[in-house]
Structure 1
Amino acid sequence: MKKWKCFLTAIVIAAGSMLVGCQGFSSAKPIEAMYIPAGEDGHLMVGEGTGNVFTVTMPENIQDKTGKKISEDDLNRGDIVAIYGDGIMLESYPGQYPGVTKIKVVKEGKASDADQYQDILDEFWPEKDPGELPYLNVGYRASYGEVSASAMQGGYSWSYADKDGVEQNETADSVAVTQWTELPAMNVDGTTDMELYFDTKPEKVTATAFPAELSGESDPGAGAEAEVEEKDGNYTIKDVQKDMIYLIHGEWGNGWVEFGFEVE
């Protein structure tokens, strides 16, 4: 799995076109795009008439052609959908559109309609090496727009079958997150929520916060448990505070991995 290239800027999108900017707006005309499921639980949107490729944070409000509420599982490869939202897309490749409020099917497509984009799917969703660990991007809103940045990977314990079918077990111990060097910094204006974007959906996620003043300490104590909200397989850390170091612990069927970052 390739990691997306993420930058601390934002792009405003409207009616399928892209314009540089840092403020959202309410667009009267939604973006129309082809929906293509990808990987274990991912998807790709391809803009109609533009070819722009991006993913979205799926909203609760997903509708079929008649306006009946459905789920993402009911969307089919090749469907053309109208995407409503705040118009702010993260400048990554493929793009990420977290502020989606509504998706509606406007045309039921054929699975073969998406075959023309198979090369793009293979680039971002190749068959994953079972020994490759999950990774984590963190998304949040700042004064200059929506931001996405990678969290640092720490300790882990991971089991998998190699190409010969032999069971492998890998474990890496880690020092306290307060001793991790060069922790990525998330710059926020105040208390905020942060979205956790794992490349592989975890079964459980917990978060622990430590005061940044404990940076360098080998024994920072137990820390404070941060609230993690799960909805439809998406995870959000609630009420993230400035001047804190966060340890994220994710669990999968193959084992667990820890990630860290600092909030400034």
Structure 2
Amino acid sequence: MSKPFMHFNNLTMSFTTRKETVTAVCDFDLKVDKGQVVSLVGASGCGKTTVLNAAAGFLLPTTGEVLLEGEKITAIEPRCGMVFQSYALFPWLTVKDNVAFGLKMKGLSRKQRHLEAQKYIELVGLKAFANAYPSELSGGMCQRVAICRALANKTDVLLCDEPFAALDAMTRQVMQQELLSIVQKSQQTVLFITHSIDEALIISDTIVVMSARPGRVKTMIDVKLPRPRDVNVQLTKDYIDLKKSIWDMVEEEVRSSLKLTKRAGMGQD
């Protein structure tokens, strides 16, 4: 069998505070194929963001490993681009310069990086706003710039930490479709964190339900719903049945997480 494109191989992540050692993720094992869109869902505090930070190389495993194309990630990984919940754009730079910033750090000339940035700006439908500043854009447009910046760096993996959580419901739905369109054109592999089961069902090839802390893979669901997926698919019986099944699993873990939090609180002075 061929090696998976990305492999979280029994990943364990622990953190020591002044009072205790907390294990955020334990024996997390997940294989991701190239070009696959995988969403992580689960209770707050189950380690979803920790998993993404390990993939980016921002945090190193306590035990286990993260492999990309068979190579262990041991430092900040340039093949992985991160899109955060906040836009993290430089307010003093134009859209074009924000997108080109990573290319500037790589040493490309101004002409080269602007030509490259322009391709991705057009890809996300922001050609008319290339010289605008973030303060002149809507929230959805800012998030498209953030995604565009990650794509311009030609990363193999797009790591998305609830990138649409701060958007209104209508803009969020449009951005989900935008992301799928961009990924289809760029052939990106995507790891996507969300607390919305609907969002996970719309965008994902596979949904990973994580257990309450310490986070493990509780189950994996291959989403067989036909593409393209829009609001109409949410009215079908297959969609409703799948959503209920996932919610039942997530709810169980949320209740477990609340019990753990309550116990911890009762143990404090």
With the length of structure 2 as denominator, give the TM-score of the two structures: 0.25
With the length of structure 1 as denominator, give the TM-score of the two structures: 0.25
Q: Which has the higher strand share?
A: 1
**More contact order relative to length (CA 8 Å, sep ≥ 6):** 2
